[in-house]
Structure 1
Amino acid sequence: MAEQEPKDPDDAATRPTGSLRGLSDELTARVPELLEATTRSVGTGLELRSTLDRVCATAAELTHARYAAVGVLDESGEGLSDFVTHGVPEEVAHAVGHRPDGRTGLLGALIREPGPISLADLTADPRFAGFPAAHPLMRTFLGVPVHVQGELFGNLYVAEKDDGEPFDETDLHLLQVLATEAGIAVAHARAYEAARQRERWIDGSVAVTTALLSGGDADEALTVVAEQARRLADSAAAVVLLPAEQGGLEVVAVADGDRGGALGRIVPHRSPVVAALLRGEAVFMDDATTDSRTITRLADGFGPHMLLPLSIGGRVLGALAIPRARGSRPYSEAERLLATQFAAQAALALMMAEAQRDRERLAVYEDRDRIARDLHDLVIQRLFSTGMMLEQAQQRSAVPEVRAGVGRAVDELDVTIQEIRTAVFALQQEHAETPGGLRARVLREIGMAAVPLGFRPSHRFLGPVDSLVGELAGKNLIAALREALSNAFRHAGASRVDVGVDATATLPDGREAVRLSVADDGVGIPEGGRRSGLRNLARRAESLGGASWFGPGTGKDGGGTTVYWQVPL
């Protein structure tokens, strides 16, 4: 839609917006009524999109036009970020496809030189660049600028007057009055929308803080960060990355069902994006797929992209990536600011959760030290005394069978004392001194779970676990074991837990796999009970090409639960 500058200096198109000079006495008398009706129809409701829809509908009604539209300027002021129409059927709009961007043709000229314009035949204007395929034919055209708080917001257009005649002076002035009222309504809608947007981001920050400090599974809490960021930013996906041991950033949480395979992927430290994020700098891209700073395929198919450091007090804890689909609108300055504040709040909650987990680990280590002291100072001494008493009884007995039986009991006590001493040594080892093999890490998790459970779970290994299971599979297996043991402690009320790691398992497609099983004799999973931990286990397994499921436990008549977690070696 566009217009040609009238050559007559007295033409209505050259008069100042809102002027009523030259109108008929009948129209002048109706102006207060029209103003009230316009305010009533345009100013109802506060959502910006619905406000623009009402502006278009009212413009068409007042000027008896078949079509109406509002072109909204983008942040640069050189093109259109939105184009709201009235009178164009949905199927026609779909057939037309891409809406005008306002950078070329008649609409572009109106943006560069805003002002009222009236055209009897817009197709004859030299600035007209033609209609797209399936676009409705239009000839008569009228347009006026819309200002919001003194700044150009966009243009209001009408086309194709019902009687086929050109738009007249009355139509122009009615449209100018409507544009003034629309500017006021848009200002209110913008303020309301900005307040709602800030409120949503604040609510999202609260949800993230609650998830991180709830004491639940850390991976699940990080998934909450990603899910909230994706919802609030209206993005195609959201990814949380944490520093990797070998450098760079590792994907630890993804909010996008189609990209679960990205879990565990590492963006290397040589990436310019990683370097900027680790310096605490935010990175913004208009098209992540073509941006030269991306060196991995994780950005494939994405367009506008925000990559924000999760930093607090100069310390970078990780990063948050929030991409939109290719071709989507870029992030506005307001969205970038709100997302940056959200990332800062998430970083604070992440640091507080880390400190909380450190305190919990310290409490576990203190309990382990106390248990080790009690075992060494009380239990071993008492067993040693019992063994001496049995040896004395053995010497005094004249019955060979009794002496042989007492001797076997003394030998068993010696073995028990050695096992307890081994357990004491393991309990007193520092975390950094603990062997790093998968078998040792499984035993460490079992030992740490013994404190909250009140007993030590049993364990069994099948196959050469340390040599067959890869680092990525082993790392995720430990996280799955930690989640399953935590569920057994928090929900099962079990008196027995059995842990199995089988490196000789196979997947349905024949690939070699490692299978983790954690069986208990507790209360089982009640119907409709909380299963977020089980879903988290399933997501982790599926991201590696495996699966997770559960079945009957080891209690009487199959009571309790057995959790299975299986991935390729």
Structure 2
Amino acid sequence: MTAPSGDSYSVRSTLSQLRLRELLTEVKDRVDQIIDARDRMDGLVEAMLSVTAGLDLDQTLRTIVRTANSLVEARYGALGVRGADGYLTQFVHEGIDAATAASIGDLPAGHGVLGLLFHQPETIRLDNLASHAASVGFPVNHPPMHTFLGVPVRIRDEIFGNLYLTEKRNGLPFTEDDEVIVQALAAAAGIAIDNARLYESARTRQAWIEATRDTATAFLAGTAADAVLAHVVEHARTLTQAERAFLAIDDDPGISAANRRELRIARWSGPGAGPSSPVARVSGTAIGQVLTEGTPLSFDDAADIDLGKPIDRPGPTLILPLHAQGSTFGVLVIVRPISASPFSIEILELAAAFTEQAALAIQLSEAQQRVRELDVLTDRDRIARDLHDHVIQRLFAAGLSLQGTIARTRTPEVRQRLTDVVNDLQDVVQEIRTSIFDLHGSNAQSPGLRQRLEQVIAQHTADIDLRTSLRASGPLSVVTPILADHAEAVVREAVSNAVRHANARTLSVSVDVADDLTITVCDDGTGIPDNITPSGLSNLSRRARDLCGTFTIHPNPDDTGTRLRWSAPLH
């Protein structure tokens, strides 16, 4: 046998060393891959923590896109939110600056490969985006994009949107590892988005609850209705993120909705000075439909809808009925800008519940007001009863006692003074009786005829040295509102003439109610000048003729001053 030579040992040793180096290199590559995988997993965990940390929905969407770009080293990224019609309603993008985005124009609507993920919600990984059959190209000024990775974002069984990534750095294609990482991120993103949506929904509901509470509290606390209605409209506009809103009220609920021709616009909220016309049409309009049916209406685009009120470039529109206890007495119209997203079902439900509660609060406030009025009227009846049963009887007794004293008095001066006192007592009794009639018949909300006449006299004589008196007899409460308006106009004209032309020192107004309403105005002035225009007196005469009454004006019996007498039948 021949012993191996030294060259053979040298060759084997060299081959062994080469094999060892290859193994070591392979081990090193494997270790580098493990380290890289560990780093990417660490990055994925950090990304998941970052994505799920926020509760603001818009900020969460941007964080998802930014994190996805970082994990797979993509230059451009976007998250498209799916709408109810299957197209994009929101497109959050990263990597394209504001100037480039403005030059591109409108954001994607969801056509081509972007929309394919909505119809086929499976991950798409492409080395050349333009080569796909569904590709529709890019708009002008859009940066070039070749490699593409699209992953659907699910919230439970719902497709919320899609995560789009393009242009992996160094011109490399997206790998299977990139796909797995982005899928994991998309799963975490779905949870984060769901949490943010739930949080936002809870905050929105809390805001609506607070608005409902504030409205009900204000109404029931007796705050002026106009101020509360202004808050209702402002709350509705703000909480629905709308641009304009107005409240149209039915001022005469006794008329059926089918016969109603228009509604009064009670409140407006939004930019500008408000509507040019204070009414909204009902017949054949969307407002009329809501008023008649008592159910809300929502329009994604109201450009071709007759809202009953001309509105410049209306976008998504919501019309809500003010409905409570089986009746609809108004509508709330909320309008978003033409470029805004449609109202969601959640917003529709919350706004409808808010208007229902507001309508109920309005009716409860009206009922509360009627109870207060009833309390006032009850108290007035008690006062009137006490006046009749106690005060008048005591005055009668005092008058009878004085009349008995007059018969036993020998001195003429004393007898005359006692007679004057008895007459004064009779006048007082008559005044109290008139007050009793007013207490029984006056409205708790609107001033009575006596109060209106007192206001007229005070308005004309407040700044001059003129002694005035107002005497009323009979039941003023039986005077109809129309006749009361005539009476106020007569007193206003008579007092105005006396103040401007008579140079009087005293002025007395008497109002007597029997079969007719009779108004007598006397002054001690210089009479009616010859050079005045008698248009005002002609108006008084015409008022009397229109009501089948009478009107006279002549000097007082002692030839001083003027005596004006105007009368009209009560019925």
Q: TM-score range by the shorter chain?
A: 0.5 to 0.7
Spell out, residue by residue over 1:197-231, the C-alpha distance to the aligned partner (whole angstroms, 9 max, x if none): 22222222212221121122122222222222222
1:89 matched to 2:97? The reply is: yes
Counterpart position of 2:214: 207
Instruction: Name the SS for the 2:339 alignment partner.
Output: coil
Instruction: Name the SS for the 1:62 alignment partner.
Output: helix
Counterpart position of 2:46: 37
The residue correspondences of 1:111-260 to structure 2 (distance < 5 A) are 111-122=118-129, 127-132=134-139, 135-245=142-252, 247=260, 248-256=262-270, 258=272, 260=274
Spell out, residue by residue over 1:452-491, the C-alpha distance to the aligned partner (whole angstroms, 9 max, x if none): xxxx99554879xxxxxxxxxxxxxxxxxxxxxxxxxxxx
The residue correspondences of 1:420-569 to structure 2 (distance < 5 A) are 420-429=432-441, 441-443=446-448, 460=457
Instruction: Name the SS for the 1:254 alignment partner.
Output: strand
Spell out, residue by residue over 1:6-48, the C-alpha distance to the aligned partner (whole angstroms, 9 max, x if none): xxxxxxxxxxxxxxxxx96555444542331221121111222
Of all paired residues, the percent bearing the same amino acid is: 36
Counterpart position of 1:288: 302
The answer to whether the 8 A contact 1:75-1:332 is kept is no
Question: CA distance change for structure 1 residues 272 and 291 in 2, over 3 Å: closer, same or farther?
Answer: closer
The answer to whether the 8 A contact 1:59-1:175 is kept is yes
Counterpart position of 2:357: 345
Give TM-score scaled by structure 2 length: 0.64
1:58 matched to 2:67? The reply is: yes
Which amino acid letter does the alignment assign opposite residue 59 of structure 2?
S
Could you say which structure has the larger radius of gyration? 2
Counterpart position of 1:566: none
The answer to whether the 8 A contact 2:290-2:319 is kept is no
Spell out, residue by residue over 1:325-363, the C-alpha distance to the aligned partner (whole angstroms, 9 max, x if none): 222111111111222222232233223222211211111
Of the candidates 108, 111, 136, which is equivalent to residue 115 of structure 2?
108
**Larger relative contact order (C-alpha < 8 A, sep ≥ 6)?**
1
Counterpart position of 1:268: 282
Counterpart position of 2:471: none
Compute the displacement of 1:189 (Å): 1.8
Spell out, residue by residue over 1:148-199, the C-alpha distance to the aligned partner (whole angstroms, 9 max, x if none): 1132111111233343444444433332222122112112222222222222
Which amino acid letter does the alignment assign opposite residue 339 of structure 1?
A
* Most deviating of 173-182 and 257-266: 257-266
Give TM-score scaled by structure 1 length: 0.65
Counterpart position of 2:106: 98
For 1:457 and 1:212, the matched residues in 2 are separated by 32
For 2:36 and 2:157, the matched residues in 1 are separated by 27
Q: Which runs of 5+ in 1 are unaligned?
A: 1-22, 435-439, 448-455, 464-500, 504-569
Spell out, residue by residue over 1:375-424, the C-alpha distance to the aligned partner (whole angstroms, 9 max, x if none): 33344444555556666777747466x77777666665555544443333
Instruction: Provide the aligned length of Structure 1 versus Structure 2.
Output: 424
For 1:342 and 1:201, the matched residues in 2 are separated by 7
Question: CA distance change for structure 1 residues 263 and 217 in 2, over 3 Å: closer, same or farther?
Answer: farther
Counterpart position of 2:83: 74
Compute the displacement of 1:288 (Å): 2.8
1:336 matched to 2:348? The reply is: yes
Q: Which runs of 5+ in 2 are unaligned?
A: 1-31, 461-490, 494-571
CA RMSD of aligned residues (A): 3.7
Question: CA distance change for structure 1 residues 229 and 397 in 2, over 3 Å: closer, same or farther?
Answer: farther
1:47 matched to 2:56? The reply is: yes
Instruction: Name the SS for the 2:342 alignment partner.
Output: coil
Question: CA distance change for structure 1 residues 138 and 346 in 2, over 3 Å: closer, same or farther?
Answer: same
Instruction: Name the SS for the 1:258 alignment partner.
Output: coil
Which amino acid letter does the alignment assign opposite residue 236 of structure 1?
E
For 1:256 and 1:502, the matched residues in 2 are separated by 42
Question: CA distance change for structure 1 residues 95 and 363 in 2, over 3 Å: closer, same or farther?
Answer: farther
